[in-house]
Amino acid sequence: MDLLTDLAIILAKVIGLTFMVVLPLVPICVYFERRFSAIIQDRVGPNRVGIPLTLFGAKKDFHLFGLVQPMADGLKLFLKEDFTPSYVRKSFYWLAPALTVIPSLVTVCVVPFGSPITIGGEAHKLVIADLDVGPLFVFAVSSLTVYGITLAGWSSNSKYPFVGGVRSTAQMISYEIALGLSIIPLLLYYGDLNLSSIVEHQAAHGWLLLPFWGHTADYPLAEKLIFLVPAVIAFIIFTTSIFAETNRMPFDLPECETELVGGYHTEYSSMKFAMFFMGEYAAMVIGSALIVTLFLGGWSMGFGLDQALLKDDAGNWVWFSGLVHMGVFMTKLVAFILFFILVRWTVPRFRYDQLMRLGWVVFFEAALINVFLAAFVIAAPQLGWLSTIAGLVLLAVVTGALVWVLKTSDPKSPPNRGLLGQN
Amino acid sequence: MAVIKVKRPELGAGEKFYLGAIFKGFLVTMKHAIDSLRGKTRGAKDLASSGLGATMQYPEQKWDESMPEYYRGAPALVTDEQDRERCVSCQLCEFICPPKAIKITPGEIPSDDPWAKVEKRPKEFEIDMIRCIYCGMCEEVCPEQAIYLRKDYAITGLDREQMVHDKKRLYEIGGKRVGLVNKWNELK
Amino acid sequence: MSEEASTAEAKLPKDVAAEKGLVNVQIDGVWRQVPKGTRMIEACRSFGTIVPHYCYHPKLSSPGNCRMCLVQMGMPPRPTPGQDPTYDEDGYQPIGWMPRPVIACANTVAENMGIRTGGELVENVREGVMEFLLINHPLDCPICDQAGECRLQEHSVGHGRGHSRFVDMKVKKPKNVDIGPRIRLDDERCIMCSRCIRFMDEVAGDPVLGFTQRGTYTTLTVHPGRKLDSNYSLNTADICPVGALTSNDFRFQMRVWFLKETPSIDVNCGTGANITIWTRGETVYRITPRQNDEVNSCWMPDSHRLNFHYIDSDERLTEPLLRDGASHRQSSWPDAIAKVVDALKSHAAEEIAIIGSSRATNEELHLIRKLADQLGTEHLTTVPRIGESDGILIAADRNPNTNGCKLVWRREDPAFRLSAIRDGVREGRIKVLLNFGEDLTAEAGFDVADFEKLDCLVSMLLLAGPTAEASDVVLPGAAFAEKRGSMVNVTGRLQRLNRALEPRGHARDDWEVLRDLSAGVSNVSPFDASQPQLIEDVFRDMASTVSEFDGLNLSKIGDLGLPVTETGVTIPHLEDERARKAAGQIVG
């Protein structure tokens, strides 16, 4: 009986969180992206599609600010002819969209959506799988998306998709290194890989990037403020790498329209194309969720409000706190997605060599130094002043050496002007 | 032509991080977005904007009144003051038409017609509006001032046949045009 | 080398030229040698300088009345008695330029003459002439059929002043005058060059045109009580430099700038007049004569030039037809060919007869001959078509390729078996009749009733009619404008037809059908390497058996043709033209 209940709860979590929270977020993202892009570009954006009352004889449609547009888009993609070109490698061609969308959705299972929710006196964590290796699981699974993209590019048996697929592979592999290295300082700091615990910690002691409440003897303000330095560096590297991982502007070289038609999904249509589309936006949602969870306090309201409002006298979460926290988490998520869009319309696209240089030369080394810096910051109180100074000097030397390497690796040869440079 | 070599400006240490510039970029974009939301987009007023960005809400709002004189809409044939078709089917528009949208079947005016002295007029005059690119070359080349680009821009049809404007439709769109040179007057 | 140079130095250029019957003329500053007695305009033309002109036509007399060809002329000053002529270092005398221009069309060159076709004087007089010509011009180019090939338009752009200074009323003249069954006259457009008058007088021999009135009121008109109804009247529209005379047939059909020109030859009589086929898309709009001084000069008869409307008429056959009871049903080419091949294979050689046509090209005749040899039948003939020569261009032989048939079939009279075949059909000895391009009920002398005795009548035809009606298999063929090939005219000149159109509908080029039949009879695919795939292959095969065509191919024939055999027949008009040339009436 217990087993059945557990199963039912797990199923409810899976269905509820994956299919009722994350998947609907995808069309909502698309809607926000279109509206916000339009506003940035002095346009209106989709504002028509609502409830078509005129179809049923009414005088006016109910336009709902175009909120039904994503549904209409989805319906359109669903009803379009699913065309498979004759020259593709069929099995891989069919496999690729699934390989893109499934990993993105699987990663959802370690993201904590809120504090535990209490039903019938029993607390249930708002996370599908409360793994102790949260971030690692996310990296492990989400890097599988690259197979989908590579397979799509290759099996399409067409030039542009192939170039798109190759670019994507190179780009995602490159940025995974920076991605992984950049969160090591955090793990050192939290001493834990469980995302729920990380969020709990931030709810209690202040967000990593906003540590202005919940000071205790173990976590004094000064220490948190000093750690802000490696944290901010980690944040910048991590966020930028997430942009690159999700193939978003300014790193959307695998599918840049001006060069590659549609990139790796040029030959796809109908639902298969929609799955690429969904996978991409799901990756964006998961990326935002991860950033919010790691750096911005996850579901916590912050500023000590959680403690003040949502805990009973015994220090336990009140029963509805889970729902409030979920709302907070979603708000943060959407805000970060809007930031994604803001970046898209602000920063121009990178050139591929610049992209590679940024990943391998700048971020890789910066993340590496950041690991030492964070370790040093954390270890400093335990060390004597002599060791501290020695450590500082060592760090400076290592940093100097790395910066020198970076400088010398600068291409000194005349810049490649492409075909214009020849003759 | 002298070659002027422009040196790229040297970046300062802070500038090399780009983060400041990127952040400033965010602010600029956000400011623009907020202006757009408030209907303060530059030029929104002149463009009769609906209040969001510079865009006009098309089927409800139309630009017809403020359409400039030089607007190039659908090409059409015109008649003169005496309701004579001005076109004499010289086929110069058919010749000049870059997308080959015009097809003219010339014909002779019967001798019992009051305008028999003009001798020639189109038996059939077809403009394929799917092909037409609204370039206005036909208007420019016409020696009889018979074809004009009118301000009709919403040319729609449910099939290809409807998109081919025949002579009747062309005169419907064009209507009568007065004040042109009357070449075929009583002196002729 | 030096010896040659010294002898050349010793002689003056005029003596060198005189030895060859030439004279030295300086044209636009360059010394040239031209034959003595050449008109100045022709001398300039032979060195690539076209002097603008309206009334001058080399095949007509030169009245010099348009004044457009005015050029500046100069001669060496006449020496005073006792004075020796002076020579410059090249041996030429200095030219004294005349203050007034002369017309280039009616004056001949002389030794040491100078001609300037440009310069201030010449340009000014041309501008003046153009202004006068345009004073009364109605400027109705938009409705004028000549627009696009109008000399007045061209010279107005090249030599006109661009705007008019004339403020008075223009002189009104008759417009849209019906002067003949095929020609329309617009007197306001006429510039009084009198080309048409001279043509009707000198070439057509029917002087019905003339001027009346005087000065600006001069009006071209037809003789009272007469019509311009000569069979050569449409040539006046060709030579009219403006749109005064236009063709009724071509009137308002299409602007000339849309038309594609294809050089070909006329197939209405043995003369084989050289023509240009003017097409747009898949329609022939008109046919005009093309100059060939060995065949048709610059002219052709109206009856021949207008005989092209059948190409896209309603009677045109466009689908292979098979007999189905009393009527025919549409079929496909493979089925139709198979049906014919079956009929040929199931009958003995002596039961099969082939009627070819002297309207077919040499290539087609060659394939017909080969098919007859393949079948082993003796019954092979053409249909003679003898009329009366009109004494100008229409030959008595109305078949265009009788001579070609003689050469290709190696027969003196290709038509001599016709009556034998006719009798054979009537007596039931001949069971299968292959008819390539003849209407058997017309010149061939068959009755429709004769065909009932046949097992199978196969006709390759252009038009529906009693013969097609009676045929068991109808194969739609290609009209003259739709095929490439060669013919030999009455004088023995090999000439080339070029394809201006695709065959209509599913009609096919005749030689391809013949090739398919022959391949079917010998049980190979038409695309077999042994079968010809291009008309050029057929010609090559034919040239290997016909000695007259040895070493030739279709490209080598050229647009003007080549004489390949001697027939002793001449074209009356050419004789007449040579006589007038010899008499100095025309340039020729």
User: What pLDDT digit, counting tens, does each position of C192-217 carry?
Assistant: 999 999 999 999 999 999 999 998 89
**Chains C and A contact (Cβ–Cβ under 8 Å for 3 or more pairs):** no
List all residues 6 or more positions away from C89 whose beta carbon is below 8 Å from its beta carbon: none
Classify residue C143: in a domain, yes or no: no
Residue B144 exposed, middle or buried by CB count within 10 Å (0-12, 13-18, 19+): buried
Write out pLDDT tens, residues C469-520: 999 999 999 999 999 999 999 999 999 999 999 999 999 999 999 999 999 9
Cβ neighbours around A189 below 10 Å, total: 23
Q: Give kind and range of the element (H or E) at residue C209.
A: strand C209-212
Chain B residues with a Cβ under 8 Å from any Cβ in chain A? 19, 22, 25-26, 28-30, 32-33, 36-37, 41, 44, 50, 52-55, 57
- pLDDT confidence of residue A421: 42
Residue with tokens 């001449």: C570
- Model confidence at A274: pLDDT above 70: yes
Cβ of A39 and B30 within 8 Å? no
> Count of B–C CB contacts within 8 Å?
37
The count of domains in chain C is 3
Q: CA-to-CA distance for C312 and C584, rounded, in angstroms?
A: 45
Cβ of B119 and C176 within 8 Å? yes
Which of these ranges, A396-405, B25-34, C55-64, C171-180, has the smallest mean pLDDT? Answer: A396-405
- pLDDT confidence of residue C329: 93
Cβ neighbours around A389 below 10 Å, total: 11
Does the CB of B188 have a partner CB in chain C at under 8 Å?
yes
Residue with tokens 């680009």: B149
Does the CB of A347 have a partner CB in chain B at under 8 Å?
yes
Classify residue C134: in a domain, yes or no: no
List, in sequence order, every residue forming a beta bridge with C324; answer none if it has no partner: C327
By percentage, how much of chain C surpasses pLDDT 70? 98
Return residues 75-134 of B near C (CB < 8 Å): 88-92, 94-95, 106-108, 117-120
Across the interface, of C138, C142, C257, the residue whose CB is closest to B95 is: C257
List, in sequence order, every residue forming a beta bridge with C97; answer none if it has no partner: C74
Please give the full DSSP string across B54-72, using - where no structure is assigned: T---TTTS--GGG--TT--
In chain C, which residues have their Cβ closer than 8 Å to the Cβ of B106? 252-254
For the segment A287-308, the average pLDDT, to the nearest whole number, is: 82
Does the CB of C143 have a partner CB in chain B at under 8 Å?
yes
Q: CA-to-CA distance for A313 and A318, rounded, in angstroms?
A: 10
Mean pLDDT of chain C: 91
- pLDDT confidence of residue A1: 58
In chain B, which residues have their Cβ closer than 8 Å to the Cβ of A42? 32, 36, 41, 44, 53-55
Claim to verify: residue C236 and residue C348 sit in the same structural domain: no
Q: CA-to-CA distance for A152 and A168, rounded, in angstroms?
A: 11
Classify residue C265: in a domain, yes or no: yes
Cβ atoms of residues C308 and C285 within 8 Å: no
Q: Give kind and range of the element (H or E) at residue C305.
A: helix C302-305
Long-range contacts of C151-154 (CB under 8 A, 24+ apart): C151/C52, C151/C54, C151/C241, C151/C242, C152/C54, C152/C191, C152/C241, C152/C242
- Confidence tier at C375 by pLDDT (50, 70, 90): very high
Claim to verify: residue C264 and residue C391 sit in the same structural domain: no
Residue type at C199 in one-letter notation: F
Cβ of C253 and B92 within 8 Å? no
In terms of CA atoms, which chain C residue is nearest residue B108?
C252
Claim to verify: residue C307 and residue C353 sit in the same structural domain: no
Q: CA-to-CA distance for C61 and C55, rounded, in angstroms?
A: 9
Claim to verify: residue C216 and residue C350 sit in the same structural domain: no
Domain final position from C260, C279, C311 = C311
Choose, out of B17, B55, B58, the residue to mutate when testing the contact with A (most A CBs < 10 Å). Answer: B55
Which among C504, C146, C487 is positioned nearest to C312, based on CA atoms? C504
Q: Give kind and range of the element (H or E) at residue C70.
A: strand C70-75
Tell me the shortest Cα–Cα distance from C504 to chain B, in angstroms.
Answer: 21
Q: Is C474 helix (H, G, I), strand (E, B) or coil?
A: strand
In chain B, which residues have their Cβ closer than 8 Å to the Cβ of A41? 36, 53
Cβ neighbours around B84 below 10 Å, total: 17
In chain A, which residues have their Cβ closer than 8 Å to the Cβ of B29? 40, 342, 345-346
Claim to verify: residue C60 and residue C175 sit in the same structural domain: no
Choose, out of B89, B90, B115, the residue to mutate when testing the contact with C (most C CBs < 10 Å). Answer: B90
In chain B, which residues have their Cβ closer than 8 Å to the Cβ of A345? 29
- pLDDT confidence of residue C10: 67
- pLDDT confidence of residue B46: 67
Tell me the shortest Cα–Cα distance from C179 to chain B, in angstroms.
Answer: 16
Choose, out of B36, B41, B60, the residue to mutate when testing the contact with A (most A CBs < 10 Å). Answer: B36
Does the CB of A40 have a partner CB in chain B at under 8 Å?
yes
Claim to verify: residue C359 and residue C414 sit in the same structural domain: yes
Angle at which helix A270-295 crosses helix A221-245, to 10 degrees, equals 170
In chain B, which residues have their Cβ closer than 8 Å to the Cβ of C147? 90
- Confidence tier at C190 by pLDDT (50, 70, 90): very high
Which among C318, C284, C330, C333 is positioned nearest to C504, based on CA atoms? C318
Q: Give kind and range of the element (H or E) at residue A404.
A: helix A385-408
Cβ of B106 and C252 within 8 Å? yes
For the segment A14-30, the average pLDDT, to the nearest whole number, is: 81
Q: CA-to-CA distance for C549 and C556, rounded, in angstroms?
A: 11
Which among C231, C238, C223, C67 is positioned nearest to C145, based on CA atoms? C238
Classify residue C125: in a domain, yes or no: no
Cβ atoms of residues B119 and B108 within 8 Å: yes
Choose, out of C143, C145, C169, the residue to mutate when testing the contact with B (most B CBs < 10 Å). Answer: C143
Does the CB of C260 have a partner CB in chain B at under 8 Å?
no
For the segment C28-45, the average pLDDT, to the nearest whole number, is: 93
In chain B, which residues have their Cβ closer than 8 Å to the Cβ of C142? 88, 90, 92, 120, 143-144
By DSSP bridging, strand C352-355 and strand C321-324 are unpaired
**What is the span of the domain harbouring residue C182?**
163-311
Residue with tokens 């005379």: C245
Determine the distance from the C-alpha atom of residue B109 to the mean position of all C-alpha atoms in its chain, rounded to a whole number. 32
**Which carries the bigger pLDDT value, residue A349 or residue C244?**
C244
Q: CA-to-CA distance for C195 and A84, rounded, in angstroms?
A: 71
Q: CA-to-CA distance for B148 and B179, rounded, in angstroms?
A: 14
**Which carries the bigger pLDDT value, residue C292 or residue B60?**
C292
For the segment C286-312, the average pLDDT, to the nearest whole number, is: 94
Cβ of B90 and C142 within 8 Å? yes
Q: CA-to-CA distance for C489 and C270, rounded, in angstroms?
A: 5
Residue type at B13 in one-letter notation: A
Claim to verify: residue C377 and residue C455 sit in the same structural domain: yes
In chain B, which residues have their Cβ closer than 8 Å to the Cβ of C257? 95
Claim to verify: residue C524 and residue C378 sit in the same structural domain: yes
Tell me the shortest Cα–Cα distance from B61 to chain A, in angstroms.
Answer: 14
CATH code of residue C78: 3.10.20.740
The residue extents of the domains of chain B are: 16-59, 67-174
Q: CA-to-CA distance for C175 and C533, rounded, in angstroms?
A: 54
List, in sequence order, every residue forming a beta bridge with C457; answer none if it has no partner: C433
Choose, out of A41, A42, A235, the residue to mutate when testing the contact with B (most B CBs < 10 Å). Answer: A42
For the segment A380-398, the average pLDDT, to the nearest whole number, is: 82
- pLDDT confidence of residue B47: 66
Write the DSSP symbol of residue C58. T
CATH code of residue C467: 3.40.50.740
Residue C541 exposed, middle or buried by CB count within 10 Å (0-12, 13-18, 19+): middle
- Model confidence at C398: pLDDT above 60: yes
In chain B, which residues have their Cβ closer than 8 Å to the Cβ of A47? 52
ipTM of the complex: 0.82
Does the CB of C167 have a partner CB in chain B at under 8 Å?
no
Does the CB of C95 have a partner CB in chain B at under 8 Å?
no
Split chain B (188 residues) into runs of 10 and give each run's mean pLDDT: 79 78 89 82 69 74 81 91 90 94 93 89 93 93 92 88 92 88 76
Q: Is A1 helix (H, G, I), strand (E, B) or coil?
A: coil
Query: Between the CA of residue C305 and those of C10, C205, C232, C247, C249, what are the distances in Å?
Result: 58, 19, 10, 11, 10
Write out pLDDT tens, residues C312-340: 999 999 999 999 888 999 999 999 999 99
3-state SS string for A243-278: HHHCCCCCCCHHHCHHHHCCHHHCCCCHHHHHHHHH
Classify residue C128: in a domain, yes or no: no
Does the CB of A43 have a partner CB in chain B at under 8 Å?
yes
Classify residue C580: in a domain, yes or no: no
Claim to verify: residue C495 and residue C388 sit in the same structural domain: yes
Claim to verify: residue C505 and residue C546 sit in the same structural domain: yes
Taking the CA of residue C259 as centre, how many other CA atoms within 13 Å lie in the half-sphere pointing to its CB?
A: 23
Cβ neighbours around C522 below 10 Å, total: 13
Across the interface, of B108, B143, B187, the residue whose CB is closest to C142 is: B143
- pLDDT confidence of residue A318: 74
Cβ of B53 and A347 within 8 Å? no
- ω into residue A250 within 30 of 0, thus cis? yes
Which among C450, C268, C269, C478 is positioned nearest to C353, based on CA atoms? C450
Domain final position from C279, C311, C343 = C311
Which among C60, C61, C96 is positioned nearest to C75, based on CA atoms? C96
Of these ranges, A10-19, A317-326, B3-12, C347-356, the one predicted with the greatest mean pLDDT is: C347-356
List, in sequence order, every residue forming a beta bridge with C286; answer none if it has no partner: C278
By percentage, how much of chain C surpasses pLDDT 90? 79
Name the token pair of C466: 């009693």
Which alpha helices (H) appear in A107-158, and where do they start and end? Answer: 134-142, 145-155
- Confidence tier at A359 by pLDDT (50, 70, 90): confident
List all residues 6 or more positions away from B61 whose beta carbon is below 8 Å from its beta carbon: B48, B50
Name the token pair of B21: 């510039």
Write out pLDDT tens, residues A372-388: 888 888 887 777 788 88
Claim to verify: residue C354 and residue C448 sit in the same structural domain: yes
Classify residue C393: in a domain, yes or no: yes
CATH code of residue C253: 3.30.70.20
Claim to verify: residue C344 and residue C445 sit in the same structural domain: yes
Cβ of B25 and A41 within 8 Å? no
Name the token pair of A275: 């799955």
Which of these ranges, C153-157, C162-166, C239-243, C436-440, has the smallest mean pLDDT? Answer: C162-166
Those chains having 3 or more beta-carbon pairs within 8 angstroms of chain A are B
Q: CA-to-CA distance for C168 and C211, rounded, in angstroms?
A: 24
Across the interface, of B94, B95, B119, the residue whose CB is closest to C143 is: B119
Classify residue C148: in a domain, yes or no: no
Q: Span B67-174: which CATH code?
A: 3.30.70.3270
Name the token pair of C34: 């031209």
In chain C, which residues have their Cβ closer than 8 Å to the Cβ of B89? 252
Name the token pair of A296: 């911005």
- Model confidence at C380: pLDDT above 90: yes
Which of these ranges, A6-20, C151-165, C308-322, has the smallest mean pLDDT? Answer: A6-20
Domain final position from C90, C117, C144 = C117
Write out pLDDT tens, residues A245-261: 887 778 877 776 677 77
Return residues 225-284 of A near B (CB < 8 Å): 236
Mean pLDDT of chain A: 81
